[in-house]
Amino acid sequence: MKIKHIILSIFTLSLAFSYAQDKDTIADQTVNVIKPYTPTISDAFKIKDNPKLSDSNAVKKKEIKYNIFSIPVASTFTPAKGKAATVDRVKPVKLYDNYASLGFGNYTTVLGEVYLNHELSRDENVGGYFSHHSSQGGIDGLLLDDNFSKTNLNAHYTKNERYFNWKVDGGFDMQTYNWYGLPQDLFGQAESNTIDPKHTYTSFNVGGKVNFDNAIVKDVSLRFRHFGDDRDSGENRFKANTNFEVMVQDAEIETEVFLDGLVGNFDSTYEGLSSINYGNFMVGLAPSYQLNQDDLTINLGVRLTYFNDTELSESKFYIHPNIDASYRLVDELLIAYGGLKGGVIQNSYYDFANVNPFVSPTLFIAPTDQQFKTFVGVKGKLTNNISYNVSGNYTSEKGKALFKANDTFTTPTEDYQFGNSFGVVYDDVTTFSIAGEMNVDFNRNFSLGVKGEYFAYDTGNEAQAWNLPDLEASLFLDYQISEQWFAGASAYFVGERKDTVGVVGSLSSPTRVSLESYFDFNAHVGYKINDQLSVFAKGNNILNQNYERWSNFPVQGIQVLAGATYQFDF
């Protein structure tokens, strides 16, 4: 009942309030404003009703209905199934272990090579190498034969063990030349008919090397060589070398120990007075320590050598620097380097004859003391394909060997006494040189290399640094034209050299002569018939320069040779 009374009371009050809103009974009154009204944002209110426009002339929008008429169309398109893109596979290049090459050319030239290598087992290999290069000569204007022949035969055997590997090898060489450089202003056809200019060198060597894995001793090598000629000259040389590492107060010291012994003789001096005997041995130690710090690498070392001349019963102890350093200024782009090194150079008849085969069998053999050789330079890469190297060198050598033309006998008794051979003189020489080198590998099919070096010499007793050029330069190029065609070229430039022409017993001094600089350009081209057989053609001294490498010894003119190379496996 109470609830009913409450609801009735609320309903009655609602009606009374509604009536008061519909009929305003408030009379006009005077309102006094005590202070001006200052509105605030909180006093504002929003009218929630939306205005409505009541216009009988408004046009009502016509209801539009949309219909889509679907007409079926037959489709003949069938999408292709997707598949992975293919990459062109290059046919792998077949590599063969053996090859044989044979070529023939003008001047009755024969060039042949055979290289053999056979795998006996997983850890054993045996192989050999044979080469022959000969020419019957035919240089215009000579009074003596200028034919030559070089034959080389080598064999080797290698074995891999668990903790080391070893190799033994040996070889035989035979070289035949002629002392054909007869000074024709002194001798004619009559004298040349009495000369037998032919001389032959023979050489035999045997040796081996052992490489150790993860051991204190890194390697040990031995080599024995006998060298002689058909004029009763001969020498024997034995070399031994080992490298090992030792720890000194947590520092790793790499050390080289070496032994070099030489003994030989010549049947007589150039004047034909007595025989020449020579012999010496040297033993040495060369420790070095490498220091690495960021981009700086320094090798600090010294070379200690004890030298004993067994013929003169004299001995001497040498101390030479062995220091070099490099610093990466800009990663691989710019690397600065330098060094100071030296050592005793063991000269030998074998070495002299391989540089100048026209020496007489009357040489005095002595070592050269390279007191120091200092060098500084920069090297690096200009791009990923172009590398460079520029350096300056200064060398001081005591007793440097120089080739010099032998004086002419007025009544010679030996075939090499007609001014057609060379001897060796020794002098203290300092050499300053500037060298530059650049190699370009455009891609795997094309490479180019060029280098050059300028020399300036200062001698002690001799008037000139005989037969040493003031400039040397060379260029090499290889180009794989296509899968079948390949080609290449090389060029050499040798600057001016000095020598003398003298007569034994003459009251006048020997005349100094200048050998003109020369440029020798060579090229070759080849065609690969199949994986195993290819043919080639070579051209040497293409510009047909009749230059003299040694005084009175002109070289052959343009030489053309063609042949074939065959690769195979057993």
What pLDDT does residue 2 have? 44
Backbone Cα Rg of the chain: 47
What pLDDT does residue 71 have? 55
The helix (run of H) or strand (run of E) holding residue 357 is: none
- What's the one-letter identity of residue 153? L
Residue 260 bridge partners (DSSP)? 239, 282
Fold of 112-207+226-234+267-276+314-568: Maltoporin; Chain A (2.40.170)
Half-sphere exposure of 329 (CA within 13 A, CB side): 10
What pLDDT does residue 348 have? 97
Half-sphere exposure of 180 (CA within 13 A, CB side): 22
The helix (run of H) or strand (run of E) holding residue 389 is: strand 386-405
CA-CA distance, 256 to 166, in Å (whole number)? 19
Residue 280 bridge partners (DSSP)? 262, 309
Q: Is 189 helix (H, G, I), strand (E, B) or coil?
A: helix
Question: In whole angstroms, how far apart are CA 273 and each of 276, 279, 416, 420?
Answer: 10, 20, 15, 19
What pLDDT does residue 331 have? 85
CA-CA distance, 402 to 150, in Å (whole number)? 25
Dihedral of CA atoms 293, 297, 298, 304 in degrees, nearest 10, equals 130
What pLDDT does residue 297 have? 94
What pLDDT does residue 64 have? 57
Question: In whole angstroms, how far apart are CA 421 and each of 173, 194, 230, 336?
Answer: 22, 16, 16, 44
Q: What is the mean pLDDT of each run of 10 residues along the chain (570 residues)?
A: 44 40 47 53 48 48 56 56 62 82 96 95 95 95 95 96 95 97 91 94 97 93 97 96 86 92 95 92 95 92 96 94 95 94 97 97 96 97 93 97 94 93 97 96 90 96 95 96 94 96 82 94 96 96 93 95 94
Report residue 493 CA to chain centroid gap.
Answer: 20
CA-CA distance, 568 to 100, in Å (whole number)? 8
Say how many Å lie between the first and final Cα of the chain, rounded: 126
414: Cβ contacts below 8 Å, ≥ 6 apart: 272
Question: In whole angstroms, how far apart are CA 177 and each of 52, 406, 528?
Answer: 126, 17, 35
Q: How many CB atoms lie within 10 A of CB 108?
A: 12
CA-CA distance, 420 to 407, in Å (whole number)? 9
What pLDDT does residue 421 have? 96
Q: What pTM, to 2 d.p., does this model score?
A: 0.82
What pLDDT does residue 38 have? 56
Q: How many CB atoms lie within 10 A of CB 529?
A: 12
The residue among 347, 225, 364, 353 whose CA lies nearest residue 282 is 347
Residue 561 bridge partners (DSSP)? 105, 538
CA-CA distance, 140 to 151, in Å (whole number)? 26
- Tell me the domain boundaries of the chain: 112-207+226-234+267-276+314-568
The residue among 514, 506, 522 whose CA lies nearest residue 551 is 514
CA-CA distance, 438 to 380, in Å (whole number)? 10
CA-CA distance, 284 to 242, in Å (whole number)? 11
